[in-house]
Amino acid sequence: MSTPRTQALTRAIALLRALKRFPHGATTATLARATGLAPATAGRLLATLHDAEFVTRAEQGWMLGAELTRIAARADPYLALRERARPVLENLAGAARESAMLAVPRPGPQIEIIAQADGPRLLGLTNWVGRAVDLHASAAGKIVLAELSDSELAAWIRRERPRRLTPHTLTTRAQLTVEIARVRKRGWATLDQESEIGLASIARPLRNHNGTLTAILGFSGPAERLAYPALLAHLERGCQALE
């Protein structure tokens, strides 16, 4: 059963959500209509939210306030996924004796590596979390590029002009079209010294029940040491645990 306090909180949240639809501001009357609240009730709640800097007044009316921006800046959208993936990554890194990592697709397209667990070997240890990655020179990046249509991929290549990082980097439209078609066909991607001499990696996509790409699981290590078939089996097991 709701109480006056919970009712007030629910109504305040409704006002904040309504304000998302009015980036240039909205009057009290407009917000009251949008939420189904009485204008007097909406006005009282907006005044309280204003005191806490959750909303601010502008010439056009009420707008979302600075406190929401400060809270959003501290939020971690991947916290739940990172926590769920940590034991899986640690298990994979221990079993495969190579660094295991988890990346997520971002608009652009881009990827962000959000978690990593290192194997017991010292050679090849690099912390990839938060580092910028060239999509064409990354196994995880190739997974993201494989989500594009042929025309979108061609447009991306024209726009980004993939840079050559090593003699092995694939940079031309012909090279990347063939490589991405291979990734689509087999469902996983590899990297062989295309971003750095001596570095190799393998990655596999994670998808939700609709088939949408949600994350990418992968291994990286010295090219001379990575055994793709064995690592792929580990990745399939890890993806089953996370999907």
What pLDDT was estimated at residue 126? 66
Distance (Å, whole) CA 235 – CA 187: 12
Q: Is the pLDDT of residue 90 over 90?
A: yes
E strand or H helix that includes residue 8: helix 4-19
pLDDT in tens, 143-163: 999 999 999 999 999 999 999
Beta carbons within 8 Å of 1's beta carbon, 6+ residues apart: none
pLDDT band at 132 (very low <50, low <70, confident <90, very high): confident
What pLDDT was estimated at residue 2? 63
Predicted TM-score of the model (pTM): 0.70
Residues counted in the chain: 243
pLDDT in tens, 206-229: 999 899 999 999 999 899 888 889
pLDDT band at 118 (very low <50, low <70, confident <90, very high): confident
Q: What is the DSSP letter of 40?
A: H
Please, what are the domains in the chain? 4-73 (1.10.10.10), 79-242 (3.30.450.40)
